[in-house]
Amino acid sequence: MLYSGNNENLNSEGGVKTITVAYGDGIGPEIMEATLKIIMAAGAKIKIETIEIGESVYKKGISSGIEPSAWDKLRKTRVFLKAPITTPEGGGFKSLNVTVRKTLGLFANVRPCLSYYPFVDTKHPNMDVVIVRENEEDLYGGIEHRQTDEVYQCLKLITRPGSEKVIRYAFEYAKRYNRKKVTCFTKDNIMKMTDGLFHKVFDEIAVEYPDIESEHWIVDIGAAKLADTPENFDVIVMPNLYGDILSDVAAQIAGSVGLAGSANIGSDFAMFEAIHGSAPRRAGQNLANPSGLLLAAVQMLVHIGQGNVAENVHNAWLSTIEEGIHTYDIYDSSISKEKVGTREFTDAVIAHLGKKPEKLKAVTYPPKGDPIIIKLKDRKPSVKKLVGVDVFLDWKGDVDNLGKNLEKIAYPEFQLAMITNRGTKVYPNGVPETFIVDHMRCRFQSAENNNSVTNQQVISLLSRLVSAELPPIKTENLYTFDGQLGFSLGQGQ
């Protein structure tokens, strides 16, 4: 299977690429206008098709926030420059960003976070970090359930291909942009199977890139180090939730979330956006800083093979920042020369086209950059064997009574291995101090340890439970894969 930040198959006429643009809500239209004005002045060869997204679409009762017809336009252009939108308050609305990322298979979210010291105030003058966030899975599947009166659940899914795509992308990105180190953050000391897989895939892929240093940190201490000494990091790859949180932290400590752009890269599609929101209180006042979206557009220009235009725009922007021409959000009377509005800032960047920064580091991009191609390794599927079932019961009361009852129900194919409550063993040999809620996970394994059981035997067990007025609220089959346990043990098991 091939995955690419693809610029080959984009529709083009005489080198002109058609892109899809959404103006969004709040400050969106102003910063989009500014961005397009600058890149067109720099000579971007693009044709624009617009789609409507966000508040106005939600208000029509479309819970995804995007018109169904917009997908056809996106499918045609495969490049999407998107302004921020306002997510309506209250339930019933799906996050448009998550929908677009997942529907279009945008597996890597790339967020460069660098400081522009001394022109933008920061405690970290030498920060230059690129966060590569997994973008499609983890806790973002939106698979949530209320299972009992007291318990709610959100499913965390980490897949081997999903991990491999984003981790390979991080290493390929490091190689392409001459970066020296890729760091991985996970919490695999706790989530040994899910985060453990991400870490394992990272280690497997790292050895294929001997020229790039690799390291892994548990996310809590890693995050602390990132906030304290970001200059020690280069490219950081992580699962979705940690990446969501830490890329905002990284952008903010670099100077301002208002300055960071991001690229969402998929096999055939890519979406580019600022990382900030629609800032509704600043809308329509010629105040907003268009830099985040402009830098996202720079990433887009590189992606569509117009690296020379990207370089011109980026260097003009750096020169403008260096000259102290700043919007209100980064204006500081001790550093800045002029406080300007969105339109004036736009005109200043245009006036700097063709110039290179003198103090900040000028950027260079390959004029026609080839796409980054990600090839997944072929794997032999493992041999899977059913060895038991975890049955979740909505139940509160005397755990020893429940355990003894379940031991009888399990007989003869199964044995009750344990009962846990929120992951902690409460039977056999529970302790009175453990706090208990109405959610019992009862583990039934084959009567002969780790021998296989049949699906029919599982169904018969479930039916015996229903007859005993212990209806399961959820079951989770227990498998081994090539003889390795495919499930975690309970705490205290």
By the rule CB under 6 A, 311 interacts with ligand NAD: no
Which is closer to ligand NAD, CB of 282 or CB of 441? 282
Q: Mark 17-46 with x for binding to ligand NAD (rule: CB under 6 A) and - for no binding.
A: ----------x---x---------------
Which is closer to ligand NAD, CB of 84 or CB of 388? 84
CB of 468: closest distance to ligand NAD in angstroms?
48
Residues between 246 and 265 with contacts to ligand NAD, criterion CB under 6 A: 258
Residues between 53 and 92 with contacts to ligand NAD, criterion CB under 6 A: 84-87
By the rule CB under 6 A, 289 interacts with ligand NAD: yes
By the rule CB under 6 A, 321 interacts with ligand NAD: no
Q: How large is the angle between the packed helices 307-322 and 28-41, nearest 10 degrees?
A: 110
- Of the candidate residues 6, 20, 97, 214, the single one contacting ligand NAD (CB under 6 A): 97
Which two tokens mark 271? 């979406």
Which is closer to ligand NAD, CB of 165 or CB of 282? 282
CB of 84: closest distance to ligand NAD in angstroms?
4
User: Do residues 39 and 21 touch, judged by C-beta distance below 8 A?
Assistant: no
Which is closer to ligand NAD, CB of 81 or CB of 402? 81
Give the whole-angstrom CA distance, residue 90 versus residue 97.
Answer: 17
Which is closer to ligand NAD, CB of 29 or CB of 277? 277
- Of the candidate residues 288, 387, 391, 419, the single one contacting ligand NAD (CB under 6 A): 288
By the rule CB under 6 A, 420 interacts with ligand NAD: no
By the rule CB under 6 A, 388 interacts with ligand NAD: no
- Of the candidate residues 120, 167, 279, 461, the single one contacting ligand NAD (CB under 6 A): 279
Which is closer to ligand NAD, CB of 257 or CB of 302? 257
Do you find a cis peptide bond into 428, omega within 30 degrees of 0? yes
Q: Would you call 72 exposed, middle or buried from its count of C-beta atoms within 10 A (0-12, 13-18, 19+)?
A: exposed
CB of 15: closest distance to ligand NAD in angstroms?
30
